[in-house]
Amino acid sequence: MNGEVGYIEFGASEAAITSRFFADLFNWPFHAMGNQGDGWFETPNIKAGLHGNDAGNHAVIYFRVSDIEKSAAQVRELGGEVDEPGSSESGFGRFYNCRDPQGLRFGLFQA
């Protein structure tokens, strides 16, 4: 379980465009949350979140871990950086945004 892709987060300047694109491309049902076009895609294997009003269109891969605190400490020990944790999302789990020693963005995810 440790290290498998557990979640993908898309950040888009125009969430409505991105939600339609991936829904049409892969036939992923999109579940809207709020009024900014945010929500999540139902993919065959994992959830993929989408949030709008993001100046730097991007995707971040979150790797599933069994102990998120231990894994965050390991990231730091190996020279990476870990942001403050986001709030736990009901039905989604806990997330940490991280960077490797060169600044490559990724995340940790615990269901």
Q: Give the residue extent of every domain in the chain.
A: 5-110
What's the sign of the alpha-carbon dihedral 48, 38, 11, 72? Answer: negative
Fold category of 5-110 in CATH: 2,3-Dihydroxybiphenyl 1,2-Dioxygenase; domain 1 (3.10.180)
Structure confidence by residue, pLDDT tens digits, 88-104: 767 778 999 999 999 99
Mean pLDDT by 10 residues, the chain (111 residues): 88 93 96 86 92 88 95 97 81 90 95 85
Structure confidence by residue, pLDDT tens digits, 10-23: 999 999 999 999 99
User: Which pLDDT value is given to residue 87?
Assistant: 67
What is the distance between the alpha carbons of residues 110 and 34, in angstroms, rounded to a whole number?
24
pTM, whole model, 2 decimals? 0.86
